[in-house]
Structure 1
Amino acid sequence: MMGYVNISSLILGLIAWILPVYAMMSHQNKRAMLSIVSISLCGVSLFLQLVHQYYLVRLEDWGALADTIGAVVFAAAALLLITIALNVVSFKKGRPHSVE
């Protein structure tokens, strides 16, 4: 069952990136909802990584924990920063421009 945690985290992270891109191409009234779902999926994806790390600690598999923690931290940071950036771009693109 724990093998599905990493796959689920990856899939949810990818969906968190796809939703803002879709929002940029869709109608403006959906952007806020898609952004909320995107950020929520990012949070769930990060939570699943914490669950997996907790599982490794419970097993006392210190070698696996030591071997993977650097990649997990890098991937989590990338997921979070890219998700935020995509959602900001989606909102900026959706705002009407003022005419002066």
Structure 2
Amino acid sequence: MIVWLNVGSLLLGLLAWTLPFVTFRKNQLSLAVMSMGACALSLSFQIFYHHHLVKIGDWSALMDTSGAVAFASAVLIIVTILVNALTLMREKKGVAA
């Protein structure tokens, strides 16, 4: 069951990146909020997974994956913020024109 935290984290991260491109709504702000929420949940799943590894004492798994998880988390946050910002700026230009 714990392995689903990694799968859920990956799926929520992908959702965070794709939600800003959904154009069926007029208000992109709500999609941006949902995207940031998916990003936060994705990162939370990784924190819960690392907590599980600490609880079971799997120190080698922690040492092997902590660097990659930190890097992937930074990329997820940066790309999510950039994609949402670009989408909101595009919407703002469309409204002003």
Establish whether residue 57 from structure 1 lines up as the match of residue 59 from structure 2: no
Q: Count how many residue pairs are aligned between Structure 1 and Structure 2.
A: 96
Return the offset for 1:96. 3.3
Return the offset for 1:27. 4.3
Establish whether residue 34 from structure 1 lines up as the match of residue 27 from structure 2: no
Q: Which of 56, 63, 67 is the matching residue for 1:70?
A: 67
Give the Cα–Cα distance (whole angstroms) in 2 for the partners of residues 61 and 28 of structure 1: 48
Runs of 4+ in structure 1 deviating by more than 2 angstroms, as ranges, are 25-29, 96-99
Correspondence for 1:6: 6
Gaps of 5+ in 1: none
| TM-score, with length taken from structure 1 | 0.90
User: Identity of counterpart residues, as a percentage?
Assistant: 38
| TM-score, with length taken from structure 2 | 0.92
Give the Cα–Cα distance (whole angstroms) in 2 for the partners of residues 41 and 35 of structure 1: 10
Correspondence for 2:89: 92
